[in-house]
């Protein structure tokens, strides 16, 4: 059991080695493509005397991403595309990956995921191997994030929401923002505007021409009248950007360019169960939009939790399969999601090791059979290829390197 978590860069950066070991034990890490870009973006930072070299910062950050229990999510534009074309509606609060192969052996059906390009890059960066493409992308990322025009372009694209104003400010910022949010959602539900909002999404997210044609065709031919029903995910993304605009237009959010960039973290929240940041602006926007079934934890509470788990491990010498300290946010979220009392019962009636091993062998055989074929419904199994270096932290969560732990024991 574990929960998919998304961390923004500063949260990720703030965690030390022991905390990361605990993080990977109780959470599945959903690495967003935005985090990968932000990490690479550091490569083209200017060198500062007596400070860490940009290259070493990227190496350090890449090494914080352990290979096991970590998934790089598909880009949010892919999520938009499949949601708008109607091929997948919900993202189920777990990482969304693009399957490389779909297997159907007749008795077993499943999805096989290979290592993605991003995962390959992260693996190279850990060893300090950067190629010329990395440098170009990094440079491009930095110049783009410094572009002065982006905020103005953003404002002009969102101008149709400029009428949403507070009549009079009352209470604190958060109450004012809530009042604005209610007006915005009112506006976003208006039947006469639905098609216009669909066009706005296509324009704002810069979806390609053929895709746009396919989307409009679906809208017309299926007689849709509500964007939220047509594509819940696109509606969700639109509500984030529109809410941000309404916030700046009422001087309740700052126009900082980095805010505009950070919005992207929220686009990925349907692919996680827990979101963590210490950024006040993101916290405020998260609470206003309230992504479905996603819990929030500040980076400082997360760090505290992980330290408690580490201390518990040191003093007890035990490796736990659930958060060992009840006075933590992590435990509280686990309890809500998994109902830990019920899972105690399940644990008392476990499948035998032999049974589990036999099931595992069967899945591997099916995945390696290469018998491709499409199928409908839920897969029986999902496999994901991950490459580990001997120096990576061991999969068992001991905190030791693989070569000194399970690899040594031949497991």
Binding site for Zn ion (CB under 5 A): 394, 396, 398, 405-406
* Minimum separation from the CB atom of position 351 to Zn ion (A): 22
Written as six digits, the tokens of 52 are 């860490």
- With respect to Zn ion, which residue has the nearer C-beta, 333 or 394? 394
Torsion sign over Cα 152, 158, 162, 165 = negative
DSSP assignment letter at 111: E
* Minimum separation from the CB atom of position 402 to Zn ion (A): 7
- With respect to Zn ion, which residue has the nearer C-beta, 21 or 103? 21
- With respect to Zn ion, which residue has the nearer C-beta, 95 or 397? 397
- With respect to Zn ion, which residue has the nearer C-beta, 99 or 405? 405
Longest dimension (CA), the chain: 69
* Minimum separation from the CB atom of position 283 to Zn ion (A): 36
* Minimum separation from the CB atom of position 387 to Zn ion (A): 17
CA distance 42 to 398: 31
What are the C-alpha distances in Å from 99 to residues 105, 116, 122?
17, 10, 20
DSSP string, 3-35: EEEEE-HHHHHH--HHHHHHHHHHEEEEE-HHH
- With respect to Zn ion, which residue has the nearer C-beta, 155 or 400? 400
CA distance 188 to 237: 12
Containing 295, the helix (H) or strand (E) segment is: strand 295-298
DSSP string, 49-77: TTS--HHHHHHHHHTTS-STTEEEPPPHH
- With respect to Zn ion, which residue has the nearer C-beta, 283 or 406? 406
* Minimum separation from the CB atom of position 18 to Zn ion (A): 16
* Minimum separation from the CB atom of position 210 to Zn ion (A): 49
């Amino acid at each position: 059991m574990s929960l998919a978590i998304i961390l923004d860069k500063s949260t990720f950066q703030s965690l030390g080695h022991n905390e990361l070991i605990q993080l990977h034990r109780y959470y599945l890490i959903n690495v967003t493509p935005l985090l990968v870009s932000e990490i690479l973006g550091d490569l083209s930072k200017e060198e500062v005397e007596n400070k860490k070299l940009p290259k070493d910062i990227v190496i350090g950050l890449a090494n914080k991403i352990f290979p096991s229990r970590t998934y790089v999510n598909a880009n949010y534009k892919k999520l938009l595309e499949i949601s708008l074309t109607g091929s997948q509606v919900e993202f189920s609060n777990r990482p969304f990956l693009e399957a490389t192969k779909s297997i159907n052996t007749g008795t077993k059906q499943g999805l096989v995921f290979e290592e993605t390009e991003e995962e390959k890059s992260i693996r190279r960066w850990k060893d300090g191997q950067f190629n010329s493409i990395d440098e170009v992308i990094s440079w491009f990322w930095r110049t783009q994030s410094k572009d002065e025009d982006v905020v103005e372009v953003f404002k002009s694209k969102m101008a149709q929401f400029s009428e949403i104003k507070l009549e009079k400010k009352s209470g604190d910022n958060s109450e004012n923002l809530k009042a604005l949010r209610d007006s915005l959602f009112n506006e976003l539900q208006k039947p006469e505007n639905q098609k216009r909002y669909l066009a706005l999404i296509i324009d704002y997210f810069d979806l390609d021409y053929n895709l746009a044609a396919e989307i409009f065709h679906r809208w017309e031919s299926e007689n849709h009248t509500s964007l939220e029903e047509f594509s819940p995910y696109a509606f969700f993304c639109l509500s984030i950007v529109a809410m941000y605009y309404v916030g700046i237009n009422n001087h309740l959010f700052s126009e900082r360019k980095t805010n505009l960039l950070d919005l992207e973290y929220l686009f990925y929240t349907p692919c996680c169960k827990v979101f963590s940041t210490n950024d006040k602006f993101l916290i405020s926007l998260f609470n206003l939009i309230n992504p479905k079934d996603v819990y929030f934890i500040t980076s400082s509470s997360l760090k505290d939790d992980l330290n408690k788990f580490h201390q518990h491990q040191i003093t007890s010498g035990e490796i736990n399969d659930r958060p060992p300290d009840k006075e933590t946010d992590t435990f509280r979220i686990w309890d809500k999601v998994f109902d830990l009392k019920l899972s105690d019962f399940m644990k008392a009636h476990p499948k035998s090791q032999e049974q589990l091993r036999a099931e595992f062998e069967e899945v591997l055989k099916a995945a390696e059979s290469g018998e491709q074929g499409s199928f409908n419904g839920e897969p029986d199994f999902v496999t994901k290829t991950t490459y580990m270096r001997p120096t990576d932290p061991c999969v068992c969560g001991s905190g030791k390197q693989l070569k000194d732990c399970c690899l040594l024991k031949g497991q």
